Amino acid sequence: MGIRKTTTTRERLYRVQFLNQGKVYEIYARRVGPSDIFGFVAIEGLVFGEKSLVVIDPSEERLKNEFDGVPLTHVPLHAVIRIDEVKKQGSAKIIAIDGNSDNVVGLPFAPGSAPRKN
């Protein structure tokens, strides 16, 4: 199981944004691809910033702890907001979605099904 490894001259780096429990997770990974589980995206090789004694980002530390010991995670396809191949790693973060946010809006129903009208 997992993602097929391809040989390239450079290590690719992906920024993956997805919805999880009402929040947007933004993580960085070395490999992203279709999962062996239908309807999921496999994310492998999570990358976090180096520990610094001066600045500690609590959001990144929370993600580090949440994904500690997880070599491969499967995210539902409908939860993925965006996947970008990037040249530089940023900081992993969790973004709370408030009711007034114009940036990200969660779907009120599952894709492929229409909301019920009474």
**For 7-22, how does the pLDDT look when each residue is reduced to its tens digit (9 = 90+)?**
454 689 999 999 998 8
Look at residue 60 and tell me if it is in a domain: yes
Phi, psi for 107 (deg, rounded to 5): -75, 135
Question: What is the number of domains present in the chain?
Answer: 1
- Cα of first residue to Cα of last residue in the chain, in angstroms, is 44
In the chain, count H helices and then E strands: 1, 6
Look at residue 82 and tell me if it is in a domain: yes
* pLDDT at residue 101 in the model: 47
Which spans in 56-104 are helix H? 58-66
Look at residue 65 and tell me if it is in a domain: yes
d(CA 8, CA 53): 34
Share above pLDDT 70 across residues of the chain, in percent, rounded to a whole number: 68
Look at residue 72 and tell me if it is in a domain: yes
- Domain span at residue 58 reads 14-96
Look at residue 109 and tell me if it is in a domain: no
Confidence (pTM): 0.71
d(CA 108, CA 96): 17
Look at residue 34 and tell me if it is in a domain: yes
Please give the residue that has the higher pLDDT: either 106 or 15.
15
Look at residue 106 and tell me if it is in a domain: no
Look at residue 112 and tell me if it is in a domain: no
Please give the residue that has the higher pLDDT: either 103 or 50.
50
